[in-house]
Amino acid sequence: MKNLIKWIAVGFGTGWSPIMPGTVGTLVGLPLAWAMMVYVPCAGTQWAICIAMTLIAIPICGVAEKMIGGKDPGCIVADEYLTLPITVIGLTSPWALLSGFILHRIFDITKPPPIKQLQHIHGGFGIVVDDFLAALIALGINHAIFAWI
């Protein structure tokens, strides 16, 4: 069971990428976000799905962190790909997937306030919370972009 959790945490191997593992791992979230956009038209249900995926990511990332060692190892990418669908809640344009992906990565990498202030939190919650907040900020900007277009 622990090997399965680790496999999910490392994005089915994408987190082992020698170049930009977080970005490569986030790609796993694109089909999840696309499927949600296409098959789940109700924004309320989309929120429920995204909250569930975020809550699932917390213990997965926490267990994997203990197995791998260190604080928030870069190979753990479940936090990235399971929060990516948040960036497209309520949106229907396929372009929202691209902008959501880019914005999510920008905010996760640069960690602007208040995301940076969350870096001291340990365990699975600490691994996931910054990505969750990055996704929420990306969602807000994504909505502003597509309202303007």
Confidence of residue 120 (pLDDT cuts 50, 70, 90): confident
CA distance 135 to 92: 17
pLDDT digits (tens, 9 = 90+) for 51-106: 999 999 999 999 999 999 988 899 999 999 999 999 999 999 999 999 999 999 99
What are the E-state strand segments in the chain? none
CB neighbour class for 4 (10 Å; exposed up to 12, middle 13-18, buried from 19) = exposed
pLDDT digits (tens, 9 = 90+) for 2-54: 899 999 999 999 999 999 999 999 999 999 999 999 999 999 999 999 999 99
| More confident site: 2 or 141 | 141
Domain boundaries, given as residue ranges, for the chain: 26-148
